Structure 1
Amino acid sequence: MLIPLKQDAINDLIPAIATGKQYAYYWANFPTLLKNLFISLVGVLFFWLLGSFFGRAGDNISLIFRIVMGLYWLWSPIYWASVRNNRFRRYRYCGFWRGKVLDVYLTEEIVKEESAIDKLGRVIIVENRRRLFNMEIADKSGFRATITTPVKRIYKSINRGQAVEGLLLTNDPDFMNIAQITDVYIPRNKLWLGEYPYLRRDVFLDIRRELAAIYGR
C-alpha cells in the first residue's frame, strides 16, 4: 500500500537540522570522537599559523576560525547529519508505504583491514568485521527493498510476514520510479530499523494514526 502525502510532509518528517538520534549517529563512538578532536586540533594549529603569517591584520579573523575549528568535534555531527537529511529533502514527492517482511538474515562486512606479524614473522591481514541484520521487504505492487542495520538482540522478534511501514521518496509524481526509502517501522514490535534515522518518529507515528483513521489498518 502506498498513500501519497503532501509535498511539505517531507520537510516535517525529515528535519533540516539534526535530531538527537541523528546527532548520536554521527557522534558514533570513542574512536570517532578522537578523530574529530584531532581534526579540531589540526584546524586550530593551521589557522594560528596562518594568522601569525599575516600578523595583526589577520589575527582577529584567525581567532574566529580557531574558535570554530576548536569546536569542530561538537558541531560536526550536526553538520553531517543535516547534509545527509537535505539530500532526501530535495525529493519532490513522498508517500506513506506499508508492506510485509519477506525474509530476514545475517551477513558480515569488513570494516577495516590491518597488517600484522604473527609469531613466525609472517605478515598477515587482520580483518575487522561486523555482523549486519538484513530485512527484505516488499508489497503487492512489486516494490522490494532491503533494510540493513547492525545486529541487535531485539531484532530476533522480527519474523516473515510481519507488516512494515516507511516513507518512499521520488521525483516521479506517479511513483513509478522510487528513488529512496527511509528507515522503517514494524508496528507489531514497535521497532525502528535502518542504517540511519532519517525520520522524525513522532511525526511519522502521528501521520500513521491519521491515515489509520481514514483508511483503516
Structure 2
Amino acid sequence: MIIPLKPGELQRLIPAVASGPQFSFCSGNPQKILQRVLISVIGGVISLLIAQSQFSYRFGSIWLVAGFVLLLYVLWGPILEAGRKNATLRRYPKAALYEARVGDLFTKELVEQRNEQADQRGRLELVENRRTWLSLELEDDDGYLGSVRFPMEKKHKTIRRGMVVRGLVLSERPDFSRIDAMSDAWIPQLKAWVGEYPYLLRPAFEELCLRRLR
C-alpha cells in the first residue's frame, strides 16, 4: 500500500536542520569525535593566534571570526552532516507513505574499518573491523517494494517474515513506477525503528500513520 503525501508533509517529517537523534548519529564513534575535537582545537587556536599577531592588522577580525567558528566545529560539524543527509531525501518531488510486509530477511558481514597494525614481530598486518547487517526485503500487494538495511542488534532478532513495516518511499515519478529512495522504517508490532540513518521525525511519522492508515 502506497499513499502519496500531501504538500508540505515531507518537509514536516524530514527536517532541514538536524534533530536530536540525527545529531547523535552524525556525531559518530569516539574516533570520529576525537578527530573533530582535534580539528576544532588546532584550527581554532591557530586562527586566534594569527588574529592577535602583528601580521594580521588588516584581517584580524576575519581570523578572529574564523577561530571561533573552528572552535565550534564539534557542534556544527554533525549539524551540517545531518543537513546534507536530510537534503538527499527532501529534494525528491514525490513522497509516499507505505505499508508493507517483510517478505524475506538475511544478514551479511560488512567491513566497516580497515587498519594496519604491527604484530609481535613488528610486521604490519591488515586488521578489519566487521559488523553484521540485517536486510529486510519488503513487499506489498503489488510485489517487491524495496529493502531496508541496518546494523543488527540483539533486539532485531525478533523480526520475522510477514511483519508489517511502515516508512516513506521517494521517487522522481508521480506514479511511483520507480522507487528511487527509502527512509528508515517503523515496525509497529515491535514498536521498533530500523534503518541505516534516522531520517524521520518519529513521533510525527507515527501520528501520520494513525491518521492515514486507519
Matched, 1:24 2:21: no
In the alignment, structure 1 segments of 5+ residues that lack a partner are none
Task: Tell me the secondary structure at the aligned position of residue 143 of structure 1.
Answer: strand
Amino acid of the residue matched to residue 35 of structure 1?
Answer: Q
Residues 1-217 of structure 1 mapped to structure 2, 5 A cutoff: 1-48=1-48, 51=51, 52=53, 54-213=55-214
In the alignment, structure 2 segments of 5+ residues that lack a partner are none
Q: TM-score with structure 2 length normalisation?
A: 0.92
Question: How far apart are 1:53 and its partner, in Å?
Answer: 7.5
Could you give the per-residue CA deviations for residues 31-59 of structure 1, whole angstroms, max 9, x where no partner exists? 12101011112322453465447522211
Is the CA contact 1:7–1:92 (under 8 Å) kept in the aligned structure 2? Answer: no
How far apart in 1 are the matches of 2:50 and 2:119? Answer: 45
Question: How far apart are 1:129 and its partner, in Å?
Answer: 1.2
Deviates most, 44-53 or 7-16: 44-53
Assess, with a 3 A threshold, how the Cα gap between structure 1 residues 55 and 122 changes in structure 2: closer, same or farther. Answer: closer
Assess, with a 3 A threshold, how the Cα gap between structure 1 residues 144 and 47 changes in structure 2: closer, same or farther. Answer: same
Assess, with a 3 A threshold, how the Cα gap between structure 1 residues 30 and 123 changes in structure 2: closer, same or farther. Answer: closer
How far apart in 1 are the matches of 2:119 and 2:63? Answer: 48
Aligned length: 213
How far apart in 2 are the matches of 1:12 and 1:41? Answer: 36
How far apart in 1 are the matches of 2:54 and 2:80? Answer: 30
Deviates most, 97-106 or 117-126: 117-126
Question: How far apart are 1:159 and its partner, in Å?
Answer: 0.2
Task: Tell me the secondary structure at the aligned position of residue 59 of structure 2.
Answer: helix
Could you give the per-residue CA deviations for residues 108-131 of structure 1, whole angstroms, max 9, x where no partner exists? 111222223334554432111122
How far apart in 2 are the matches of 1:97 and 1:132? Answer: 23
Amino acid of the residue matched to residue 132 of structure 2?
Answer: R
Question: How far apart are 1:212 and its partner, in Å?
Answer: 2.6
Amino acid of the residue matched to residue 33 of structure 2?
Answer: L
Q: TM-score with structure 1 length normalisation?
A: 0.91
How far apart in 2 are the matches of 1:136 and 1:202? Answer: 25
Is the CA contact 1:7–1:93 (under 8 Å) kept in the aligned structure 2? Answer: no
Assess, with a 3 A threshold, how the Cα gap between structure 1 residues 37 and 156 changes in structure 2: closer, same or farther. Answer: same
Question: How far apart are 1:75 and its partner, in Å?
Answer: 1.7
Assess, with a 3 A threshold, how the Cα gap between structure 1 residues 64 and 98 changes in structure 2: closer, same or farther. Answer: same
Is the CA contact 1:134–1:148 (under 8 Å) kept in the aligned structure 2? Answer: yes
